[in-house]
Amino acid sequence: MLDRVLPTLLITALLLLLIGALRRISLWRVGQAEPVNLLAGLLAMPRRYLVDLHHVVDRDKAMSRTHVATAGGYVLAMLLILPVYLFDLRSPFLLVPLLFATALMFVGALFVTRRRINPPERLSKGPWMRLPKNLLAFSASFFLLTLIASGWLPENVGGTVLTVVLLIGVAFGLAELMFGMGWGGPMKHAFAGALHLAFHRRPERFGGGLSTGLKAVNLDGALGVAEPKDFKWNQLLGFDACVQCGRCQAVCPAFAAGQPLNPKKLIQDMVVGLAGGSDASYAGTPYPGKPVGEAQGGPGQVIVDGLVSAETLWSCTTCRACVEECPMMIEHVDAIVDMRRYLTLERGETPNKGAEVLENLIATDNPNGFDPASRTNWSADLDLPLMAEKQKTDVLFWVSDGAFDMRSQRILRAFVKVLRAANVDVAVLGNEEKDSGDVARRLGDDATFQSLAKQNIETLNRYQFNRIVTTDPHAFHVLRNEYGDLGGHYEVLHHSMFINELIEKGQLKLDGFDGGTVTYHDPCYLGRYNGEYESPRAVLNALGIEVSEMQRSGYRSRCCGGGGGAPITDVPGERRIADMRVDDARDVQAETIAVACQQCTAMLEGVVEPRPQIRDLAELVADHIVEVH
């Protein structure tokens, strides 16, 4: 009976897997063309899975080991099951490893079962709750079958009843692990995830690289994503790879603030969009304040407001915490900005002060509509050299729009003091400098971004300089990572990096800080976007400060709430993100929060006192310069 039924089950499962895989591929291919190297991607996929993906998974040691045992055992088992039970190759060299593989998978499945007994809130439930049972059934059934096949158990042990039970276990296991892989269900992520790693839209991320600049937009083509089919095909593939682990949900500042965004739900809504249907079967946490079951869509249906509401998209601070935490390396922020582009460029629907800010950028080259000729007023008494006069300098100081804000001007003046103390050859563009375009781009207005960027590039290319240095992480990111698509290639440093360099070279000597406990807030656009975590801490250490780290620091730093145009679109929630961040500092009894971003300074200082004082690195350093070499 086993010899007849088991090969039939395997062949049926393989055929259904193939049909389901082809069907799934056809869903992804509805998306827009995106060139990929098929062979190179497939060859790179094993390393990306075993190294890059597991580098993220391994942040949760228990789950990492569970995944290695369960997934590794399953893959090895399937590679051995086919020759043993489909081609009747009963060699001990196959049977013994198969026993090991199924036993390993069973142990892993036990830990999956334990996790699902009382799952954390971030995990989706529903179909995922049956997965442990089918993993156990598959591994246990094939373990016992292999004991029989190896002769270590008699063939008639248990009689017909055990045979039927084992075949039922095999059938349930194959239905979940092979049929479900192509047709939908928890194991869909294994098939989609493997191909997503092979054909990832940002292959630069693998091997420890960074790729965080938004993709260029052809303004002569489609302006943003209106319907699921407007996404690139490998973006749709990436959505389908979601394992619904909820790690993105757990770190999303907007979700924690009670705004109507949950990145996990957003990705699952995109899966609904590519396949067609509704979110009625979604078994995870909804968007705050929004019930499940009302979202409907299809590949050719407008996303807003069928699948998601506009306020969901505008809640995002573009902090990339979700992207950083995603074990499947899905690009949530790219998708959100793509959909914002449609709302802004095609429908002209940028909420609250968004439209006003974009109009100001077009008319005055700054988001608040100040007179462009007043850009240098902050430094009227500093006699800063202008590039138009010098033509050539070592360091071009990119002032950014902090020039128009009184609080930010104190940071700029402090940094000028540092530069002069270190005898840096520096100049500024003055009134020739325009907004970097960061805010416009995050609000979805790539037309304004490109216009500003091209004007800035034209200006920069008139002069000779070695490096650009700025106190603004947003301008730092855009100049460093996004101007290149438009022909602007420059060496760009954040002021924390440059100050640290001056200290290491001995151009600055500092006395000790004695102002109490200091914590450091990592700006998203310096940390997660550009991987710079060490320089700011090195500067603080040079001041004699032992940083009291908040629970969420480094790559897990909590956003201040100021990125992505969030203060402009101002979607209401249950609390402010900045309040939560200051609470993080209070938890470590910090008297001072050291920051390295003018936007972070504004957001954190907006928290009601009593609270720690907020000081930029440049201010702290400027206050403690004692000697110039």
Q: pLDDT at residue 629 above 60? A: no
Strand partners of residue 615: 594
As a whole number, mean pLDDT of residues 358-386 equals 95
pLDDT value at residue 515: 87
Alpha-carbon span 469 to 13, nearest angstrom:
59
- At residue 384 the predicted structure's pLDDT band, cuts being 50, 70 and 90, is very high
* pLDDT tens for each residue of 47-59: 999 999 999 999 9
Phi, psi of 183 (to 5 degrees): -105, -15
What mean pLDDT is predicted for residues 401-406? 95
Residue 188: phi and psi, rounded to 5, are: -55, -30
User: What is the C-alpha to C-alpha distance for residues 77 and 109, in angstroms, rounded to an integer?
Assistant: 14
Q: What percent of the chain has pLDDT over 70?
A: 99
- What pLDDT digit, counting tens, does each position of 222-255 carry? 899 999 999 999 999 999 999 999 999 999 999 9
Place of tokens 């993080």: 584
Distance of alpha carbon 219 from alpha carbon 21, whole angstroms = 35
Residues 25 and 30: their CA atoms lie apart, in Å, by 9
pLDDT of residue 420: 97
Burial class (CB in 10 A: 0-12, 13-18, 19+), 524: buried
Q: Which residues contact 520 (CB under 8 A, 6 or more apart)?
A: 536, 537, 540, 547, 549, 553, 593, 594, 595
Helix (H, G, I), strand (E, B) or coil at 615: strand
pLDDT digits (tens, 9 = 90+) for 601-612: 999 999 999 999
Give me the DSSP letters along 437-480: SHHHHHTT-HHHHHHHHHHHHHHHTTSEEEEEEES-HHHHHHHH
d(CA 151, CA 207): 46
pLDDT value of residue 1? 65
Contact 486, 510 (CB under 8 A): no
Is pLDDT above 70 for 120? yes
pLDDT at 453 over 90: yes
- CATH architecture of the domain formed by 357-492: 3-Layer(aba) Sandwich (3.40)
Residue where the block lists tokens 């780290």: 549
Does 87 have pLDDT greater than 80? yes
What is the second-level CATH architecture of the domain 2-198? Up-down Bundle (1.20)
Please write the tens of the pLDDT for every residue from 385-403: 999 999 999 999 999 999 9
Residue 355, number of CB atoms within 10 A of its CB: 16
The full set of domain ranges for the chain reads 2-198, 213-333, 357-492, 504-628
Average pLDDT, the chain: 95
Task: Report the run of H or E that residue 594 belongs to, with start and end.
Answer: strand 592-595
For residues 416-455, one letter each, b for 16 or more C-beta atoms within 10 angstroms of the residue's C-beta and e for the rest, the string is: bbbbebbebebbbbbbbbbbbbbbbbbbbbbbbbbbbbeb
The yes-or-no answer to whether 2-198 and 357-492 have a common fold is: no
pLDDT band at 414 (very low <50, low <70, confident <90, very high): very high
